[in-house]
Amino acid sequence: MAGIKVINENCGQEIFDQFNEICPFGAFTFENNKMEVTAACKMCKLCLKKGPEGYVELEEDEKEEIDKSKYRGVTVYVDHVEGKIHPVTLELIGKAKELASVIDHPVYALFIGHNIGEKAKELLHYGVDKVFVYDDARLAHFSIEPYTNAFEDFIRKENPSSILVGATNVGRSLAPRVAARFRTGLTADCTILEMKENTDLVQIRPAFGGNIMAQIVTENNRPQFCTVRYKIFSAPERSEEAKGEIVNMALEEKRFASAIEVLEIIKKEKGFDISEADVIVAVGRGVKSEKDLPMVQEFADAIGAKMACTRPNIENGWFDPRLQIGLSGRTVKPKLIIAVGVSGSVQFAAGMQNSEYIVAINNDKNASIFNIAHCGIVGDLYEVIPELMEEIRNNKNVNETLESEAV
């Protein structure tokens, strides 16, 4: 098993003290004038980087290198409800085309369901080379076991190199189960995807509470899995001409078996989804009291915007959780977003940084939100918002006067 190995046990107290000071987990012991590494080691490798040379080394497991040339294609799982394709699928197809162009691979779509033939043909208008279709009445409703079996069957037959799945309720349930069957990696909620020329998929996402952007690569396993939220990437333009091929797939009879039987589908009433808003006013910690929200709401109403918020305002109980923007909330991509009193944490930024135009209002000129804003206003929101409202009222009065004079 891989681990840190002491190669010079008789190092002396002084050397041990140096390693002991470096190790944050207290994994080194020194008994009978011999230094050892205990099970407390977390493989942070600080001892290798900062410790005296010639005393420890990294002992790695021997790995059998896989033949990456046997895996070909960037696949997008088609997320849908009763054949109605979720928009995240089209966004992932756009990204898959970009990634596949780097390594000259085809773009595949995997469609599992019932009566989905016409919808599958529609995907050919978006640049998919092949759509693999599992169409059966027993797949009409999502059921984790047969859907996982169909997904596995596709991978074993086609050997795709990378697989992109939308981070929907279905995608988040399905992707880890399929990845586990192939003992391969899965990176959730990626915000950036890049492709190396050796077909390694670089998966980038915020980690450790948003304090760093982690780059994750599955170097010696295939296929590579990742999930991506809605509104992270852009969907390609629909072409008039359909290009590509529909491939009908068959699943063994026994693989339709499931311990779950769908008796009835009860559709809940769909409320407004902040992800679909074209104009958003998002409030953060800068709003001191719930009593001050009507002031911002008036401004949002005046410009035809929807109100949203950051996580602290959800914790305060000021907003419906469905109005939170960020990695633990919704991802948005409006034409205009105005961040009012928002500091701009990595988690919040990851949920809105692809907006077409970002305006930030904050009294801290060093706030992180200004790093991604297209336009910034440094000032107290309790002064800026009323001034903006005054400008809006004045312009409205001028327009009404001009209209009346024109009549």
Distance, CA of 105 to CA of 128 (rounded, Å): 11
Sign of CA dihedral 70, 71, 73, 78: positive
End-to-end Cα distance, the chain: 85
* Angle of helix 144-158 versus helix 169-181 axis, rounded to 10: 50
Q: Cα–Cα–Cα angle for 35, 39, 43, nearest 5°?
A: 90
What is the number of residues in the chain? 407
Inter-residue contact 188 to 228 (CB < 8 Å): no
Distance, CA of 307 to CA of 318 (rounded, Å): 12
Distance, CA of 336 to CA of 34 (rounded, Å): 64
Inter-residue contact 93 to 101 (CB < 8 Å): no
Could you tell me which residues are annotated as the binding site for FAD? 285, 310-311, 324-328, 362
Helix (H) or strand (E) holding 279: strand 279-283
Place of tokens 């000129």: 365
3-state secondary structure of 264: coil
Sign of CA dihedral 262, 265, 268, 273: positive
Inter-residue contact 189 to 174 (CB < 8 Å): no
